[in-house]
């Protein structure tokens, strides 16, 4: 069999295994420890898995910020969660496709809070039309990589300070990726497509940008751990599993992921959606997962082999630093 076909078969097998064949959770939200006094940010926390994450954190006495660009939807979600939990989350205006908004959100948070125990880089998009860009960048790249990178960098001083005050000496950054990262091409990152231009416009299948950005998420997460773990920052890349969410329903209909999601009947129950990221952010033992890739349900997974390429991770990190220089 030609090498290209072997690689495609292996990638598809890994994708299928992680998307749907992970068994049942042994760890549940009932295992979350008491979070009294702890502060969390959940980007995209007004809907889907993010909203479920906020709910579970509130149920365990956390102080939680719902970071989203849509104030109306966020306030409605906060009201709903208050009715369900008796605890009120806080709204943080944040548009990850706008670096000025990211800076304003970080400044607002830093002027209000004196600690940050966990940052959930949870927000995601799918299927944005090719003509829609964010300040000249591909929308998936900006939303999944550049925006979260900038937000994380701005909040790192508070994360490291919080780690020093905690008994376990760690604060956490949980970065949501996807089993779809296995479906990247070769090379896995095409830097010329990060910004709008001829190379980006050659791509007709929007799933390319999603898969590439989720691969890059793992590189970023791993490099963050390498650079800041000795300062108490635990960084974990999490694949939450395969669920029927509004995010997935917007996937390009021609993509492999969309076809499999549409026609296969083994989607996980919605109540399991937030389990893996909650484990990564709250379970004491998840400290050991820093710099690793976590598959459902809190198990160390096997990501695409090239996510272990340190040279590529550094190249991405330097590229991202250049994009925020002077801001």
β-sheet with 299-300: strand ranges across: 90-93, 63-68, 39-43, 118-121, 171-176, 233-238, 293-295, 299-300
> In angstroms, rounded to a whole number, what is the distance separating the alpha carbons of residues 42 and 74?
12
pLDDT tens sequence across 149-167 = 999 999 999 999 999 999 9
pLDDT tens sequence across 164-212 = 999 999 999 999 999 999 999 999 999 999 999 999 999 988 899 999 9
pLDDT tens sequence across 252-304 = 444 444 544 444 445 666 678 899 999 999 999 999 999 999 999 999 999 99
| Structure tokens belonging to residue 235 | 């960084």
**Range of weakest confidence among 8-17, 21-30, 270-279:** 8-17
Strand partners, 120: 42, 174
- Direct distance between the N- and C-terminal alpha carbons of the chain, in angstroms, rounded to an integer: 50
Exposure string for 129-159, b = 16+ CB within 10 A, e = fewer: eeeebbeebbbbbbbbbbbbbbbbbbbbebb
Q: For residue 273, what pLDDT is reported? A: 83
pLDDT tens sequence across 201-241 = 999 888 999 999 999 999 999 999 999 999 999 999 999 98
Residue 5 pLDDT > 60, yes or no?
A: no
Query: How many CB atoms neighbour CB 116 within 10 A?
Result: 25
Average pLDDT of the residues in 128-135? 91
Q: For residue 259, what pLDDT is reported? A: 44
Q: For residue 261, what pLDDT is reported? A: 46
Residue 316 pLDDT > 60, yes or no?
A: yes
Whether 210 is catalytic is yes
> In angstroms, rounded to a whole number, what is the distance separating the alpha carbons of residues 95 and 105?
9
Q: By percentage, how much of the chain surpasses pLDDT 90?
A: 77
> Of 210, 228, 268, 293, which is the active-site residue?
210
Which strand (E) or helix (H) includes residue 43?
strand 39-43
CA dist 86 → 56, 62, 83, 91 (Å): 12, 12, 6, 16
């Amino acid at each position: 069999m030609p090498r290209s076909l072997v690689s495609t078969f292996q990638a598809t097998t890994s994708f299928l295994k992680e998307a749907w064949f992970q068994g049942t959770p042994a760890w549940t939200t009932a295992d979350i420890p008491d979070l009294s006094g702890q502060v969390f940010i959940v980007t995209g926390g007004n809907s889907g898995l993010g909203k479920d994450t906020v709910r579970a954190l509130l149920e365990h006495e956390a102080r939680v910020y719902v970071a989203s660009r849509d104030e109306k939807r966020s306030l409605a979600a906060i009201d709903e969660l208050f009715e369900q939990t008796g605890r009120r989350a806080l709204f943080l205006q944040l548009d990850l496709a706008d670096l000025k908004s990211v800076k304003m959100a970080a400044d607002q948070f830093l002027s209000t809070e004196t600690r940050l125990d966990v940052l959930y880089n949870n927000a995601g998009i799918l299927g944005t039309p090719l003509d829609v860009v964010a300040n000249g960048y591909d929308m998936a790249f900006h939303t999944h990589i550049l925006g979260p990178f900038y937000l994380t960098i701005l909040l790192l001083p508070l994360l490291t300070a919080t780690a020093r005050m905690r008994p376990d000496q760690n604060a956490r950054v949980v970065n949501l990726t996807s089993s779809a990262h296995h479906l990247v091409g070769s090379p896995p990152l095409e830097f010329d497509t990060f910004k709008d231009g001829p190379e980006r416009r050659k791509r007709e299948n929007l799933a390319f940008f999603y898969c590439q950005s989720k691969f890059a998420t793992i590189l970023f997460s791993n490099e963050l751990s390498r650079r800041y773990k000795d300062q108490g920052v635990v960084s974990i890349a999490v694949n939450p599993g395969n669920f029927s969410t509004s995010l997935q329903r917007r996937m390009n209909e021609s993509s492999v992921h969309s076809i499999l999601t549409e026609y296969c009947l083994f989607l996980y129950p919605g109540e399991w959606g937030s389990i893996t990221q909650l484990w990564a952010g709250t379970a004491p033992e998840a400290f050991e997962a820093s710099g690793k890739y976590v598959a459902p349900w809190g198990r160390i997974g096997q990501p695409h082999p090239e996510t272990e390429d340190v040279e590529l991770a550094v190249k991405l990190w330097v590229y991202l630093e250049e994009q925020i220089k002077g801001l």
